[in-house]
Amino acid sequence: MTPVAISVDKPEESRALMQKAGYTFPFLSDANADVIRHYDILHKGAGIGGHDVARPAEFLVDRGGTVRWRNLTESFRVRARPDAMLEAAKALR
């Protein structure tokens, strides 16, 4: 498994966040929110200055592109616990 973050932020903004937080997994830019719309997690106007952002969400996607598990919340402060994601991943094997 490989974690990947997808954000509406520009690549340079994501790169700065990665460096500041010490993340080592890929951050992908979805500046047009195409992927975010595909997964139906667009939160219109919820960002700074009324910009569109993604709702907080975590997904486990198999090699074929099928979503096998997801966690959706309304608050960016609420995320799936790592142990919950690992348990979900183990159950998919």
| pLDDT, one tens digit for every residue, the chain (93 residues) | 678 888 888 889 888 988 999 988 888 888 888 988 988 888 888 888 988 888 888 888 888 888 888 888 776 677 778 888 888 888 887
51 and 85 both lie in a single domain? no
Domain with 82, as residue range(s), is 56-93
Q: Are 57 and 41 in contact, with CB atoms under 8 Å apart?
A: yes
- Is there a single domain that holds both residue 60 and residue 43? no
**Does the predicted model carry a pTM greater than 0.85?**
no
Number of domains into which the chain is organized = 2
In this structure, are 51 and 65 located in the same domain? Answer: no
Nearest alpha carbon to residue 7 among 49, 42, 45: 42
- Whether residues 40 and 67 fall in one domain: no
Q: Residue 82, exposed/middle/buried by CB under 10 A (0-12, 13-18, 19+)?
A: exposed
